[in-house]
């Protein structure tokens, strides 16, 4: 459901809102910190996104929330393309409008987001963050897309498919959640192509397909025949120049059947479903939900090879299958390296 950014009702004061919210909570059998006594009603959930919901990362939050709404677990609405300067205001407006769970991204607004959460201790906030939870804010939980397991597996496949051993990686910003995926991907590439070299570049935007495309063109001109498409636009360049690409967060194989060999998929459902369960039971607290993005928790997976099934060397497929089993059992751990990757 798409709505405009909410506007507080005329005359709605903080005191009046708190009184009304408390009365409604008692009527529904829910008081913060205690279980519901009556039949569960959908939780009012709002998503606040700084980019379009079509953007890779945000699309996974939107998909999970939409699925939860279709199940009847939440009453979901959202605002997209919210500027960083407007983010705190939109948070407050959803809070004043009685939303019980607010999800989104705090990467560029960490301080402001936490200040808003402190103003509304009765509301659960679950925001993407490069930082950890704060014990002083029991209602502010964080998450991150820890899909390094799946990224590593795509690297194994990429290393087996590159002809030149020259691999390009294009990202948005060098923040931990991007850096760790690139490092994992490169580690996977070295499993099947130990002599691989890497070109690494960041475009300084989360959504600028033309810039990503131009950066990819430059890498291809410099010898890359395999691209890690952390941003939209990279695979388009790969199509035009006849090289291969690896997808990130979402599966774009159907859109690029002759180009995208494999993708590391992020499933936000385990993260959101845990939050919904805890809000409903009154046990929501400050925590790091990052673990629910791990492969063994169902938060990450390797997308089907689709049109590249049978084209990837069997040795690479065998290694992927072996490592997947080891990751799921805990026998193998993909290193988490949040440092900015460099060309090498």
> What are 155-165's pLDDT values in tens digits?
999 999 999 99
Both tokens of residue 283?
């046990």
| pLDDT, tens digit (0-9, with 9 covering 90-100), for 42-88 | 999 999 999 999 888 999 999 999 999 999 999 999 999 999 999 99
Question: What's the pLDDT at 187?
Answer: 98
CB proximity list for 23: less than 8 A, separation 6 or greater? none
CA distance 221 to 47: 40
pLDDT (average), residues 12-24: 33
Look at residue 160 in the predicted model and tell me its pLDDT.
98
Query: Where residue 207 falls among pLDDT bands split at 50, 70, 90?
Result: confident
- The alpha-helical segments, DSSP class H, found in the chain are 14-28, 56-71, 87-96, 110-119, 148-161, 176-192, 209-221, 234-241, 269-281, 314-329
Q: pTM for this one?
A: 0.81
Res 44: pLDDT:
98
Confidence of residue 95 (pLDDT cuts 50, 70, 90): very high
Q: How confident is the model at residue 23 (pLDDT cuts 50, 70, 90)?
A: very low
Query: How far apart are alpha carbons 139 and 168 in whole angstroms?
Result: 41
- Give the percent of the chain with pLDDT over 90: 81
Of 195, 182, 191, 229, give the one whose Cα is nearest residue 209: 229
pLDDT of residue 33: 37
Other residues' Cβ atoms within 10 Å of the Cβ of residue 323:
19
> Is it the case that residue 18 has pLDDT exceeding 70?
no
Residue 325 has pLDDT above 80, yes or no: yes
Which H/E stretch holds residue 265? strand 260-266
Check pLDDT > 50 for residue 7. no
Between CA 269 and CA 250 the distance in angstroms is: 14
Look at residues 327, 322, 268 and name the one whose alpha carbon lies nearest to residue 296.
327
Instruction: Answer yes or no: is pLDDT of 292 > 70.
Output: yes
pLDDT computed for residue 249 by the predictor: 93
The tokens 């928790």 sit on which residue?
Answer: 297
The answer to whether 263 touches 252, Cβ cutoff 8 Å, is: yes
Cβ–Cβ < 8 Å for 70, 77: no
Residue 142 has pLDDT above 60, yes or no: yes
**What pLDDT does 5 receive?**
38
Please name every residue paired with 166 in a beta bridge, in sequence order, or none if there are none.
Answer: 197
pLDDT class of 134 with cuts at 50, 70, 90: confident
C-alpha neighbours within 13 Å on the C-beta side of residue 233: 21
Q: How confident is the model at residue 15 (pLDDT cuts 50, 70, 90)?
A: very low
Q: Helix axis angle, 110-119 relative to 87-96, nearest 10°?
A: 20
**What mean pLDDT comes out for the span 262-279?**
97
Q: Say if CB 227 and CB 244 are below 8 A apart.
A: yes
Question: Which structure tokens are listed for 123?
Answer: 């509301």
Q: Is the pLDDT of residue 262 over 60?
A: yes
Q: What is the mean pLDDT of the chain?
A: 89
* Residues 263, 303 contacting (CB under 8 angstroms): yes
The pLDDT score that the predictor gives to residue 55 is 87
Question: Phi first, then psi: what are they for 166, rounded to 5°?
Answer: -100, 110
Indicate the DSSP class of residue 31: B
Distance, CA of 28 to chain centre: 32
pLDDT value for 10: 30
């Amino acid at each position: 459901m798409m709505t405009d950014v909410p506007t507080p009702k005329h005359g709605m004061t903080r005191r009046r809102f708190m009184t009304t919210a408390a009365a409604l909570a008692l009527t529904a059998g829910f008081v913060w910190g205690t279980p519901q006594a009556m039949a569960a009603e959908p939780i009012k959930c709002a998503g606040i996104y700084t980019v379009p919901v079509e953007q890779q990362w945000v699309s996974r939050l939107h998909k999970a929330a939409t699925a939860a709404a279709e199940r009847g677990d939440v009453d979901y609405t959202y605002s997209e393309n919210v500027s960083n300067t407007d983010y705190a205001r939109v948070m407050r407006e959803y809070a004043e409008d009685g939303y019980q769970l607010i999800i989104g991204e705090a990467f560029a607004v960490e301080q402001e987001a936490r200040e808003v959460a402190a103003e509304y201790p009765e509301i659960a906030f679950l925001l993407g963050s490069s930082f950890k939870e704060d014990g002083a804010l029991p209602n502010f939980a964080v998450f991150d897309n820890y899909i390094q397991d799946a990224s590593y597996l795509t690297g194994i496949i990429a290393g087996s498919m590159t002809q030149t051993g020259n691999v390009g990686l294009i990202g948005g910003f060098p923040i931990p959640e991007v850096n760790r995926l690139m490092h994992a991907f490169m580690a996977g590439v070295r499993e099947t192509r130990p002599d691989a070299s890497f070109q690494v570049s960041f475009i300084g935007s989360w959504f600028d397909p033309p810039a990503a495309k131009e950066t990819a063109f430059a890498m291809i001109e410099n010898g890359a025949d395999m691209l890690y498409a952390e941003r939209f636009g990279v695979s388009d360049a790969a199509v035009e120049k006849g090289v291969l690409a690896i997808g990130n967060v979402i599966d774009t194989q159907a859109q690029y059947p002759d180009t995208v060999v494999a993708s590391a998929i992020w499933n936000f459902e385990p993260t959101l479903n845990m939050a919904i369960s805890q809000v409903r039971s009154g046990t929501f607290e400050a925590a790091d939900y990052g673990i629910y993005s791990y492969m063994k928790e169902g938060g990450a997976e390797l997308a089907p090879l689709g049109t590249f099934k049978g084209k990837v060397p069997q040795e690479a497929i065998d290694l992927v299958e072996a490592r997947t089993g080891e990751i799921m059992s805990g026998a193998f751990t993909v290193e988490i390296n949040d440092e900015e990757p460099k060309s090498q």
